[in-house]
Amino acid sequence: MSATSPDSATTTTVRGTCPHDCPDTCALLTTVQNGVAIRVQGNPGHRHTDGALCTKVSRYTQRSYHPERILQPLRRVGPKGSGQFEAIGWEAALDTIAVRLKAIAAHDPQAIVPYSYCGTMGLVQGEGMAARFFNRLGASRLERTICASAGAEALTSTFGAKVGMKVEHFAESQLILIWGSNSISSNLHFWRLAQQAKRNGARLVCIDPRRSETAEKCHEHIALRPGTDAALALALMHQLITHGWLDHDYIARHTLGWDSLRERALLWTPQRAAEVCGVPVQQIVDLARAYGTTTPAAIRLNYGVQRARGGGNAVRAVACLPALVGAWRHRAGGVLLSSGGHFPLPSAALQRPDLLAGRMPRLLNMIAIGDDLQRETSPDFGPKIEALIVYNSNPVAVAPDSSQVVKGFAREDLFTVVLEHFHTDTADHADIILPATTQLEHWDIHTTYGHTDVMLNQPAIAPLGESRSNAAIFRALAERMGYDEPCFQDDDETLCRTAFGNRVDFETLLNQGFATVPVPEAPFANGNFPSPSGRCEFASSRLAARGMDPLPDHLPNHEAAGSSTRFPLAMISPPARNFMNSSFVNVKSLRDIEGEPRLEIHADDAAARGIETGQTVRVYNQRGEHRCKADVSNRARPGVVNGLGIWWRKLGLDGTNINQLTSQRVTDMGNGPVFYDCLVEVERS
Ligand code: SF4
C-alpha cells in the first residue's frame, strides 16, 4: 500500500488484481480516500495491463458499493426462487448450516455437493480454504468443466501442458489468426498488441461464426459454421502439404505422428471443408497460402472453438498448425490458447488433499447439475444430493438446460447455501445466503491463462457490512463442524503465501503486485515440448490408450446444422460485450448499454420468418423456449443466430435466458460444455 496524494493521511493507492474470468488478469490500482474506494484503474507499471482496464472493471466501485449488495446473512422466508429473505446473524446462520451438514454427513457426506467456478479466479477465495473444508468433509467432488476443459485436454494431449507463445510477442507477428475470439470484448489487452502488429503491417484474420466487433476490424473475416473449425484447420494442412509450405526440418526433429497426420489431412480438400464450414473454397485456399508463406505467423485461439461436440479435436487440429510451418522458431510465431501451464502448480499445502484421508468421493460434472439434482439414490449415481453449497458461481443462470436446473434448485427438500454479493437467480433459490466480500475487500493470489505473471491482490478497503471473504466463511464453517486441524486457522494472507511457497517471491508480489514467471522468449523454437516425447504430438498415444482417435479430426456437432427440419437454425451464445458471463448484469450503467436480451439474426433468416429488428421473438427447441428482442444484423451469418449472454433470468423478458435452449451434453475431450452446439427455431412472439 502506498501514499500517493499530497494528503497522504487519507488517500492511498492499493495494488490489486482483476478477479474475473478473462485472460488479461489486469493489475489494479485502487485509490482509497478515508476508507472508501473511489477509483479503480489499471496499473501502468504492469506491462500487460499498461494502465488500461475494460469498461466493465473500470466501474468496479459501482459493483462493490452497489445499493443491492448483500451485506448480512439471510434466511429464506418465502418459496424457493421467490427471493424472499430475512436477516439472520452470523451465529445463527453458521449454526443452521453446521447442524444440517452434520446430519447429512452422518449417513453419507457425498450427499453434500460444492458448486463453484471462476466467479473469482483467485486461488485463495476460489478453491483455497473451501477445498480444505470439502476435503475434510468428504463431500462429492465437482468436475469443474463448464468453460475450458476440452481445450485444456486438447493442449495437454498435443503439447503436454496448457502452454503457448508469450502474448507480448503478438505485436511483432506479420499474420495473426484470431480464431474463435471476440478479443475486443474478452481479451482487450491482446487486441492492443494485435493493433500494434497491424500498424507494423501485419494482416489480421478473424475466424468466427459471428461478425463480432473484432471480426469487423480485421482485414478478413471467415464466418464458418459453429463446430466446424477442425475441418478448416485440416483443409489448411491439406494446402500446406500439397503446396510444400512445410518446415520439414522442424517436423522431423520436433513432432510425432507426421505420416499419419499427413494421410488424414490429405482427405480434407478445400472443397470438402468449404462444404462443411459453409465458406467459399477460395477463402480457405487464400488463408492457407497466407499462413504457409508469412513469417512469423501467430494464432490467438480462444475457448469459443471448443464449445461444440468436437471442441477438443478442433483445438488439437489448430494447435498442430504452427509445428507444420515451423512457426515456433520465432518468438512472434506459434499459437496461444492458454498460458496456464507455464506457472508452477499451486502447492498441495493450499488445498490439502490429504484431508480426504484415503477417501475418493464421487465426481459430479457441473454441467449436468440440472439432471443430477433430480436423481434419486442409486448404485450408479450414489446418494441423492441433499445439500448444495454454491460459491463463485450462478448456476441457475449459467448452467446449460436451465429449465432442468431450475427444477432441481426448486426442490423443497434440497438445502442450499449460497455465498454471494447479490440476489442472483441462484441466490433466490438459497435457504441461507452468506454475504461475500468483493475483490476490493480481501486478499488473493492469481495465476492467469493469458500472460505469465503471478498476481497478488491486497485488500483496499475493509469488508462492507457483515460480509466475509470466502476463506473466512469456510474457516468459520470448519470451526462449527468441529474440525480442529491447525490448517483451518490459517488467515487469508497466510493462504496467499502458502499457494506457491518459496517458488514465487512474496516480497516482489507485495512490492509491485506481480511477479514474472521465467518463460523462454520462443519456448518451443527447439522443440522441448512438455509432452512425454518432448515433441508436438500430432498423434497422441495417450488418447489412443483411452480408445480415442490419436489424430485430430472433424467431429460433426451433436446438433449439426441442417440435421433437423424442426430446428433449422444453429445458435451460439457468446458473451454480451458489457457482461462477464453473468457478472455485471445488475450494474445498471452496463445493462443500459446492452439494453435488452437480443438475438442477432441474418436478414435472409429474418425475412423468411417475417421478423424485424426490435420485435420480440420466441426462440425454441426441444428443451425450452426463450423470448428476447430480434436484431436483424450482419453480425449473424445465414443459418446461425447469436443469442448474447448471459442475462440474469429475472432481468430477461420472460424470466428465462438463453440457457433455456442449451444442452447438458459434453465435448469429445474433457467433459466440457457444448453451449455452441445447439439447434433452434425462431418465430415472432
Ligand atoms: S475483465 Fe479482463 S480486461 Fe477487464 S479488467 Fe479484468 S482482466 Fe482486465
Q: What is the pLDDT of residues 11-41, one digit of tens each?
A: 999 999 999 999 999 999 999 999 999 999 9
- Closest residue by Cα to atom 4, ligand 1, is 54
**Phi–psi pair at 536, nearest 5 degrees:** -75, 115
Which residue has cell 502506498? 2
Q: Which atom of ligand 1 is nearest to the CA of 58?
A: 5
CA of 469 to the centre of ligand 1 (A): 21
> Residue 640 and residue 570: Cα distance in Å, rounded?
5
The preferred substitution site among 57, 440, 579 for testing ligand 1, maximizing ligand atoms within 8 Å of CB, is 57
Locate 13 and state its grid cell: 493507492
CA of 187 to the centre of ligand 1 (A): 8
Q: Which atom of ligand 1 is nearest to the CA of 580?
A: 1
> Residue 63 and residue 624: Cα distance in Å, rounded?
32
> Residue 396 and residue 402: Cα distance in Å, rounded?
6
Inform me whether the pLDDT recorded for 2 exceeds 60: no
CA of 22 to the centre of ligand 1 (A): 6
> Residue 64 and residue 144: Cα distance in Å, rounded?
26
CA of 53 to the centre of ligand 1 (A): 6
What residues are in contact with ligand 1 under a 6 Å CB criterion? 18, 20, 22, 24-26, 53-54, 56-57, 188, 580
CA of 25 to the centre of ligand 1 (A): 6
- Closest residue by Cα to atom 3, ligand 1, is 54
Locate 138 and state its grid cell: 468428504
**Phi–psi pair at 224, nearest 5 degrees:** -80, 165
Torsion of the alpha carbons at 206, 213, 311 and 272, rounded to the nearest 10: -40
Q: What percent of the chain has pLDDT over 90?
A: 93
> Residue 391 and residue 418: Cα distance in Å, rounded?
6
Q: What is the pLDDT of residue 5?
A: 47
Q: Which atom of ligand 1 is nearest to the CA of 53?
A: 5
Which residue has cell 427471493? 83
- Spatial neighbors of 316 by CB under 8 A, at least 6 apart, are 154, 157, 158, 230, 540, 552
Inform me whether the pLDDT recorded for 126 exceeds 70: yes
Q: What is the pLDDT of residue 4?
A: 46
Q: What is the pLDDT of residue 8?
A: 52
- Closest residue by Cα to atom 6, ligand 1, is 18
Q: Are 407 and 399 in contact (CB under 8 A)?
A: no
Q: What is the pLDDT of residues 90-112, one digit of tens each?
A: 999 999 999 999 999 999 999 99
CA of 18 to the centre of ligand 1 (A): 6
**Residue of 30, 59, 511, 526 lying closest to 247 (CA atoms):** 526
In Å, how far from its chain's centre is CA 202?
28
> Residue 554 and residue 305: Cα distance in Å, rounded?
12
CA of 339 to the centre of ligand 1 (A): 16
Q: What is the pLDDT of residues 237-261, one digit of tens each?
A: 999 999 999 999 999 999 999 999 9
The preferred substitution site among 18, 49, 438, 453 for testing ligand 1, maximizing ligand atoms within 8 Å of CB, is 18
Q: What percent of the chain has pLDDT over 70?
A: 99
Q: Which atom of ligand 1 is nearest to the CA of 54?
A: 4
Q: Which atom of ligand 1 is nearest to the CA of 56?
A: 4
CA of 676 to the centre of ligand 1 (A): 24
Q: Residue 613: helix, strand or coil by DSSP?
A: coil
CA of 195 to the centre of ligand 1 (A): 18
**Residue of 299, 291, 313 lying closest to 155 (CA atoms):** 313
> Residue 336 and residue 102: Cα distance in Å, rounded?
46
User: What's the whole-number mean pLDDT along residues 447-451?
Assistant: 95
CA of 183 to the centre of ligand 1 (A): 11
Q: What is the pLDDT of residues 611-640, one digit of tens each?
A: 999 999 999 999 999 999 999 999 999 999
The preferred substitution site among 17, 40, 56 for testing ligand 1, maximizing ligand atoms within 8 Å of CB, is 56
> Residue 446 and residue 517: Cα distance in Å, rounded?
12
CA of 626 to the centre of ligand 1 (A): 30
**Phi–psi pair at 656, nearest 5 degrees:** -130, 175
- Closest residue by Cα to atom 7, ligand 1, is 25
CA of 319 to the centre of ligand 1 (A): 25
- Spatial neighbors of 380 by CB under 8 A, at least 6 apart, are none
Q: What is the pLDDT of residue 9?
A: 65
> Residue 492 and residue 442: Cα distance in Å, rounded?
8
Q: Are 150 and 311 in contact (CB under 8 A)?
A: yes
Locate 23 and state its grid cell: 485472460
> How many residues belong to the chain?
685
Mean pLDDT of the chain: 95
Q: Which atom of ligand 1 is nearest to the CA of 42?
A: 5
The preferred substitution site among 17, 20, 59, 190 for testing ligand 1, maximizing ligand atoms within 8 Å of CB, is 20
> Residue 652 and residue 586: Cα distance in Å, rounded?
12
CA of 602 to the centre of ligand 1 (A): 31
Distances (CA, A) of 174 to 166, 196, 203, 298, 628: 15, 11, 6, 8, 41
Inform me whether the pLDDT recorded for 441 exceeds 70: yes
Half-sphere exposure of 405 (CA within 13 A, CB side): 27
> Residue 190 and residue 48: Cα distance in Å, rounded?
9
Phi-psi category of 231—alpha, beta or left, where left has phi over 0 and alpha has psi -120 to 50? alpha
Q: Which atom of ligand 1 is nearest to the CA of 57?
A: 5
**Residue of 481, 466, 434 lying closest to 93 (CA atoms):** 434
Q: What is the pLDDT of residues 328-371, one digit of tens each?
A: 999 999 999 999 999 888 779 999 999 999 999 999 999 999 99
- Closest residue by Cα to atom 8, ligand 1, is 26
Where is 113: in which H helix or E strand? strand 112-116
**Residue of 229, 24, 55, 64 lying closest to 668 (CA atoms):** 229
User: What's the whole-number mean pLDDT along residues 158-179?
Assistant: 97
Q: Are 500 and 123 in contact (CB under 8 A)?
A: no
The preferred substitution site among 17, 24, 30 for testing ligand 1, maximizing ligand atoms within 8 Å of CB, is 24
User: What's the whole-number mean pLDDT along residues 500-504?
Assistant: 91
CA of 188 to the centre of ligand 1 (A): 8
Q: Are strands 11-17 and 27-33 parallel, antiparallel or unpaired?
A: antiparallel
Q: What is the pLDDT of residue 209?
A: 98
Q: Are 254 and 342 in contact (CB under 8 A)?
A: no
The pTM assigned to this predicted structure is 0.95
> Residue 26 and residue 17: Cα distance in Å, rounded?
6
Q: Which atom of ligand 1 is nearest to the CA of 189?
A: 3
The preferred substitution site among 17, 21, 22 for testing ligand 1, maximizing ligand atoms within 8 Å of CB, is 22
**Residue of 66, 70, 25, 71 lying closest to 48 (CA atoms):** 25
> Residue 234 and residue 264: Cα distance in Å, rounded?
8
> Residue 563 and residue 578: Cα distance in Å, rounded?
34
Locate 363 and state its grid cell: 465426481
Q: What is the pLDDT of residue 3?
A: 45
CA of 509 to the centre of ligand 1 (A): 19
Inform me whether the pLDDT recorded for 315 exceeds 50: yes
**Residue of 149, 649, 133 lying closest to 419 (CA atoms):** 133
Q: What is the pLDDT of residue 582?
A: 82
> Residue 292 and residue 515: Cα distance in Å, rounded?
37
Half-sphere exposure of 12 (CA within 13 A, CB side): 14
Q: Which amino acid is at 547?
A: G
CA of 510 to the centre of ligand 1 (A): 21
Inform me whether the pLDDT recorded for 658 exceeds 80: yes
Q: Is the peptide bond before 296 cis (omega within 30 degrees of 0)?
A: yes
Q: What is the pLDDT of residue 584?
A: 82
DSSP-assigned beta bridge partners for residue 32: 12, 37
Q: What is the pLDDT of residues 303-314, one digit of tens each?
A: 999 999 999 999
**Residue of 207, 210, 242 lying closest to 221 (CA atoms):** 207
Inform me whether the pLDDT recorded for 665 exceeds 60: yes
Using alpha carbons only, give the angle 477, 479, 482 rounded to the nearest 5 degrees: 110
Q: Which atom of ligand 1 is nearest to the CA of 19?
A: 6
Locate 529 and state its grid cell: 515440448
> Residue 82 and residue 427: Cα distance in Å, rounded?
10
Q: What is the pLDDT of residue 588?
A: 84
Q: Are strands 387-391 and 112-116 parallel, antiparallel or unpaired?
A: parallel
- Closest residue by Cα to atom 5, ligand 1, is 53
Q: Are 208 and 215 in contact (CB under 8 A)?
A: yes
